[in-house]
Amino acid sequence: MIKQGLLAITCAAILIGCGDNKTSATTNQVVQNVEQNKTEAKQTISYASKCASCHGEKGEGKAGFPKLAGQSEKQIADKLNGYKNGTYGNERKNIMIPQAKALSNEDIAELAKTISKF
């Protein structure tokens, strides 16, 4: 009964458009953003969104962008760490260094695992 009453009041408020609509839309947006941030915080960087544009959907490589498919998890992780700390790199390393520096250790572990399965 109480629930129904509340529902009726809510509906009435929406129907009347007493000005709360805007507030509740904003509140919903905030709640949505918080939920989204929670999901993003849990996720590591995705290969598809951060790497595929240069290295290809399946790490097949493109002109000027090396093939990653076929390398082991360790090889990929070592190279990414190498770009980060300056111990690895070829003639186009300046493109890759900022990409690698943006990765956390967890990102590198996760990406290396993903790429080694291509």
- Binding residues (CB under 6 A) for ligand HEC: these are 45, 50-51, 53-55, 65-66, 68, 76, 79-80, 89-93, 95-96, 99, 103, 111
**Based on CB atoms, which residue is closest to ligand HEC, 13 or 97?**
97
Q: How far apart are CA 100 and CA 107, in angstroms?
A: 10
Instruction: Name the residue number minimizing CB distance to ligand HEC.
Output: 51
Task: Provide the greatest CA pair distance for the chain.
Answer: 73
**Based on CB atoms, which residue is closest to ligand HEC, 40 or 91?**
91
**Based on CB atoms, which residue is closest to ligand HEC, 55 or 84?**
55
> 74-112: buried (b, 16+ CB within 10 Å) or exposed (e) per residue?
eebbebbbbbbeeebeeeeeeebbebbeebeeebbbbbb
